[in-house]
Chain A
Amino acid sequence: TVNKVELAPLVNDKYQDPLWKGGAPSPAEEQPAPRGRAESPAQLSGWVEKSKKEMRARQLKVERKLSIAASQLAVEGQAKAKAKGKAKAKAKANKTKAQRPWRAPEDRKSNHRKILQQMVQSSLECFLFLQQPEEAEKFLLMYHNSRAKRHLLNVDAYNIVMRSWARKGCLQHVHRLFSMLESTGLQPSLDSYAAVLECMGRSQVPAIAIRRCVKQLKNNGFVVDELFQKCLFEEDEKEKVLRAIRTIQPKYQLPPPPSSKTCKSSLLQAFYSRKTMMPYPKMDFSVQELREHFQQQLEMELDSTVTIESVESTKPLTPQAIKAVKSGGKELGESGGCTSGGKGGCSPVGTWGEMQDPLCLPLSQVLNTVSPQGESLAVLARDLSTKVYNRYVTQRKLRSRQLEKVQEVYKDYIRLLARDSRVGVYLPREYWEKLVVEAGFGPSLNLKDCSWPYVILMRLGMHLLELLVQAVRVPRNILNPRLEPRLIPVLYHIYSFRSTWQIGLIKPHPVFSQLVSDAAETTLTFNSSVIPMLCPPVPWTSPHFGAFVLNDTKLMRFVDGAVQHQLLLEQCPLVNLHPVLDALNQLGNCAWKINQPVLDIIISIFNDKGNEKLDIPPPISEAPRPPAAPGNSTNGNKSHKHELLLCKKKAAEMHSLRMDALYKLSIANYVRDKVFWFPHNMDFRGRTYPCPPYFNHLGNDVTRAILLFAEGRPLGPKGLDWLKIHLINLTGLKKNNALRERLEYANEIMEEILDSADHPLTGRKWWMNTDEPWQALACCMEIAKASRSPDPAAYVSHFPVHQDGSCNGLQHYAALGRDLIGAMSVNLMPCGVPQDVYSVVAQQVEEFRKKDAEQGVKVAQVLQGFISRKVVKQTVMTVVYGVTRYGGRLQMEKRLKEIEFPEEYLWEASRYLVKQVFNSIKEMFSATRDIQNWLTESAKLIAQSGQTVEWVTPLGLPIVQPYYRSKSTLLPPPTLCCRKPDTVKQKNAFPPNFIHSLDSTHMMLTALHCLRSGLTFVSVHDCYWTHALTVDAMNQICRQQFVALHSEKILQDLSKFMVEKYCSPDREMRALWQSKLMEQLSNVPKTGRSSGPEHFGDEGREVGSGPQHR
């Protein structure tokens, strides 16, 4: 392992010492600028080398101090008796001082303590990882010996230190810690005994000692079997414990695994019933192929970054630029070079490479990617430390040999999916669990919880950024040799002021940005988690395990610093999560490939100045040029400045759009010949998202157009028709016509379709004038190919056909409230023509207007001829999501401006329209508003009582709204965990979030049942995709599941859950608010006339005439 002695020669730099030994870091002292001035370029590169070394040394120290830093944060006040002087050099010392003793109501205090405990634990975990039991113990003692701080230690803290000694086989130390633990009055836990036994197993102590230990274990109410059932082991810990046990009971056998439970949800009885279960659908790959794919994916993740070709065609460099880039490139190399050492994933513990790697690469990535416009300090810091954390987790997985086991299990798992092997009837999750049990020995696949609290992440990131800001310099004259040579910082802090707030930004020096853009980088470097997976994702089996092979992925994405839903998921019995996990696995198992012809066309336009109308962002060179400065009149000067500013803003926007498109297209190009998968996870409401952020099927029109199912299916008898209908849906035409009419229309314009397919860029370009041009083009091409094949029904299509929910939120409300009229207008009721709720509302509003106009209301008269579907659409759509009159009026104002409504009446007219829209919705969806109000009011009372709103979806997923009143993300840390709920947000967001959770439940139900029927299924929230062949089948399932979902007593269940949760009977109902809350929660709003969803027939979500395209 690395220790101080090894470090010494490197640290022995005269610029280095002040930073760590002499109080706060001072760039003035350590910056080598004065020398730089005298140096020739050759010497400069020498400096670069040197500073590289400096950086490394510093990073090493940082790594070693990570844990110390963490601990410092955890300590309240200044009074940390840090034995080591060097640790005091932390820049954070002053911040800790600023922290005032924090007072909180009792109930929140425990939560607060929990986070502090977590901080202590993650520090100790770091020492365990670094195999430094001495340091860990020192750290622990610091808390143990202080009466004020001892309460921050829990059993787990002692356990971690015991484990790190146990790993070295130092029984004496373990014993001492054990008695320390007992002396504090804490109960030793199962893990404590596991650590003691492991150490005994390792050091081969006499049986009598072991027997004594086991006896004590039993006295504490534990059973030996539990050790193997409940504890999580790393490396060879399990074997060692077993060895110890076998010393006293030679014939001891491992306990059988607990029998797996099945989900009891009534919605999924059929799905989980063993009788009707079918073998899992096969993929078109052999075991061997899938194993090779897995190997590729694994190597990619081990490298942690991927460098891919950029699709942007490079511009020729000017000789001047080349020269500058050459010398400046070294500067970049300075950071890039750091990565060279530590690629070998399995290198022995504590080598140079492993130590520096986690820090170096993310640091250099910051340099390479920071946008010229600058980035928020907090965002950068969080990203940076998250990267460091992820690498730490990766290293831990390697070290604990967890990876080996995953590899082993995955190799067998693949047999479930491969076409050339037979296994029994299993779901991916079930099969994986079974294989894990069979694998028996070795480390557990779940790592012991080691996540770093948000505060630590932020502080670490800030610290690393500060290092970068201070260390990385560039010669000022690199682009302009006439300037005097001087090294200047590449990154600097700047502040942006927003009313009373100031936001810290990090910006690169323009010289540096210029250098980077001149360098015309032809490669892009991404985190490996940004690229789609090259093998089927690891199935989710618990909230901590699934998706990527190595990259740490959370089942639920979290909003900054919120940990509540993570806790909630952990507390939730795993069996309740099974449906959700299975649905995510199902979505993730869909294989994709690239639509190459479309991709090529897009790239050609991308490299040919882009096209804003087609949503291909033009390059920055197409940005508007700022006008030349006019005369010096002060007024002209001001407007000139304003114009300049607008140009800059536009350029900045174009830059970010362009980069976004570049990333997407480059990734697509990288996987163009491959089959790939998008592992999925969810947000806190259960909405599912693919994990790779840039390129995925949730993206815009461009990205969707280049995605195809890897699996092909024949079109079948109705497939071609569905393709045509899909095309018309994509164009946005024929919104109010029946599907049959849309099909007829498609047949009428067949010539245009074929022309678009054959001559996309040179023909009549029909496709360009549609709502979603690129998807339309892709669809045209598919139709052309299918219709020209000898037998269209047999044509094998990879094309995904979409089915959109029509105003989905309103559908759920209408079904919840059993609103007949409303249900009809959102296509829940049988009806000849697909109904369009927006048109219906528009009609209704128009009627109101006419009446008012007759009665002489001025606004109503002015509005004549202005009310249309388009005007009301956005407001109607957002009503479900709780838009207020205020917001609705703004929307209306925008729409009216677009259609050139006379400006002097704008305000009045928009206010009038919003009122009328709300009225007509109230009339059509009589129960909807009641339900909304009930939800809002309940949430308000809950939040006012100081609690966050929680509920459980019909599939059993626990949900908590993560909205808290927050001030700074940084200071003071304890507030993060015990913030009060933000009443306004809790209340306003509850109805939409609740509807979203129902929506996602419906999607998951559909996904699972599609799996049972063997359909390919993916979703973009309420838009479902499948093969043309299976559209009808999917629609049927979708409808059935909608009815099934709403046959549950959703609102009653919600009310029951909340009453139990928030009005516990043991609490006396003494306060007024409590009885008020109780009354509110139990008073479920009355629903509409019809008694049940059966009334909607199984036409629910009417499909004969379509869940239609938006």
Chain B
Amino acid sequence: MQFLKVFTFFFFYFPPSGPGILTRTLLNAGVRVVALENNSAFLPNLQSLENSLDGQLKVIYGDFFRLDPLVTGTLKPPAMCSDKLFETIGVEAVPWSADVPVRVFGIVPQIKERIILWRLLFALYECSSIYKYGRVELNVFVSEKEYKVLTAKAGDARAYQTLSILWQVGCEIQLLHMEPWSSFLTNLKNRGLAVPKSMRLPNDHLCLVRLTPRQNLFTGVLKPTNSSTFIFLVKQCLAKPTYRLTDRLNSWSLDSDGKLLRELEIPKNTATRDLYPEDYRRLFEALQNSNMFTETWFHDEVLHSIRKINL
């Protein structure tokens, strides 16, 4: 695992029953590691390790995938607030254009994989939660089927989904490693790593994927303030992936007789699932520039959907 060498910082999400191999690998590579442990049973062990290492390891009781939950009121650990976490580890926010401030390493719990991917996505596009501190790089294990979705090509009936478009627009996605399920200790009891069944997509591996937010994500028309409209647009388009894009836009009064699509040189009979992520971005930018959103109901709808999206 050579790629680990150059880091300043790590958050390390600890798999519930993990033996600590990954932590040790990282420590051996000589980087500073902050370990977030969500299981209080493993804390004592880690803490003794922390004490023996003279500041190279910092252990915090918390759950990386339960940062900034939507509920209001006081947070009970392991749920925690990202502001507090970053304060504790002493990392300041950097501009979006700056280099990666923090690298995160971990395993996405299988049971909530989808939800977590969505929540990270919203945080990314809103520049909230961890992304408030800059382009945080994620190195996470996800199931193979989700990896296939994240990297799906336009037109792929099985894998190309809203999630594919949004992640591809938002991040560079790099596959670092694939490991068959058999090399993991699966723990059915607390469902930590139970291998989920998948009918449509192959799912024989865990994939270590690096998700680096694109530097130019917000350099154009797309901004954290209007990104929810973009997400909404993509979601609505992909709700019926076989429908023609022009029909959809027409019915939402966003495009009159395909003028916009002609200008964007998108063929008339394109189905919504055939459009590439960058084209969705161009489409959004064109709509945003022509003030189409503000004067239609679309604006209201976006507002309305915020709550549902975040759940």
Interface residues of A, Cβ cutoff 8 Å to B = 26-28, 31, 33-34, 37, 94, 469-470, 476, 483, 486, 488-489, 492-500, 502, 504, 507, 509-510, 634, 637-638, 641-642, 644-645, 648
Contact = CB atoms under 8 A, between A and B. Distances in A.
B247 interface: yes
B304 A645 contact: yes
A476 B268 CA distance: 24
A497 B253 contact: no
B235 A495 contact: yes
A765 B305 CA distance: 44
Contacts of A645: 303-304, 306-307
B251 A469 contact: yes
B232 to A, nearest CB: 10
A489 B250 CA distance: 8
Nearest to A26: B247
Interface in B260-311: 268, 295, 297, 300-301, 303-309, 311
A28 B246 contact: yes
A492 B295 contact: no
B296 to A, nearest CB: 8
B82 to A, nearest CB: 12
A510 B300 contact: yes
Contacts of B250: 27-28, 31, 489
B224 A634 contact: yes
B303 A634 contact: no
Given A33-B257, A488-B253, A498-B308, A28 B303 contact: no
B251 A27 contact: yes
Contact of B235 (A497, A510, A638): A497
B256 interface: yes
B239 A502 contact: yes
A28 B247 CA distance: 7
Nearest to A638: B128
Interface string B126-165: 1110000000000000000000000000000000000000
B297 A510 contact: yes
A648 B304 contact: yes
B16 interface: no
For chain B, the bracket of interface size reads 20 to 34
Contacts of B127: 634
B212 to A, nearest CB: 23
A680 to B, nearest CB: 40
B236 interface: yes
B196 to A, nearest CB: 13
Interface in B223-255: 224-225, 235-236, 239, 242, 244, 246-247, 250-253
Contacts of A510: 297, 300
Contacts of B308: 496-498
Question: Closest 5 CB pairs between A and B?
Answer: A488-B253, A495-B239, A492-B251, A510-B297, A489-B251
A492 B253 contact: yes
A638 B307 CA distance: 10
Contact of A509 (B297, B305, B311): B297
A94 B243 CA distance: 12
Contacts of B301: 494
A469 B252 CA distance: 11
A499 to B, nearest CB: 8
Interface in B84-136: 114, 126-128
Contacts of A476: 253
A31 B253 CA distance: 12
11 contacts: A26-B247, A27-B250, A28-B246, A34-B256, A94-B242, A470-B251, A492-B252, A494-B301, A496-B305, A497-B308, A645-B303
Contacts of A648: 303-304
A27 B247 CA distance: 7
Contacts of B69: none
Contacts of A492: 251-253, 297
Contacts of A27: 247, 250-251
Contacts of A28: 244, 246-247, 250, 257-258, 268
B229 to A, nearest CB: 13
A26 B269 CA distance: 10
B303 A493 contact: no
Nearest to A476: B253
A1006 B265 CA distance: 75
A496 B252 CA distance: 15
Nearest to A473: B253
Nearest to B246: A28
Contacts of B251: 27, 469-470, 489, 492-493
A648 B308 CA distance: 14
Given A494-B236, A497-B309, A31 B257 contact: yes
Nearest to B307: A645
B290 to A, nearest CB: 12
A483 B295 contact: yes
Contacts of A509: 253, 297
Q: Which of B126, B242, B253, B258 has the most CB of A within 10 A?
A: B253
Given A489-B250, A489-B251, A634-B224, A34 B257 contact: yes
A638 B304 CA distance: 13
B253 A641 contact: no
B107 to A, nearest CB: 22
A33 B259 CA distance: 12
B304 A489 contact: no
Contacts of B256: 33-34, 37, 486
Given A28-B268, A33-B256, A486-B256, 9 more contacts: A26-B244, A28-B246, A28-B250, A31-B257, A34-B257, A37-B256, A94-B242, A492-B297, A498-B308
B155 to A, nearest CB: 17
B254 to A, nearest CB: 10
Contacts of A634: 126-128, 224
Contacts of B244: 26, 28
Contacts of B225: 637
B297 A507 contact: yes
Nearest to B257: A34
Contact of A644 (B224, B252, B303): B303
A985 to B, nearest CB: 25
Contacts of A504: 239
A885 to B, nearest CB: 23
A509 B242 CA distance: 24
Contacts of B247: 26-28
Contacts of A34: 256-257
Contacts of A493: 251
A495 B236 contact: yes
A26 B271 CA distance: 13
A500 B114 CA distance: 10
A483 B300 CA distance: 19
Nearest to A94: B242
Contacts of A483: 295
Nearest to B237: A495
A636 B257 CA distance: 40
Nearest to A513: B297
Contacts of B304: 645, 648
Contacts of A489: 250-251, 253
Contacts of B128: 634, 638
A1046 B128 CA distance: 65
A906 to B, nearest CB: 13
A638 B309 CA distance: 14
Contacts of A94: 242
Nearest to A510: B297
Contacts of A502: 239
A34 B256 CA distance: 8
Contacts of B309: 497
B221 to A, nearest CB: 18
A28 B244 CA distance: 10
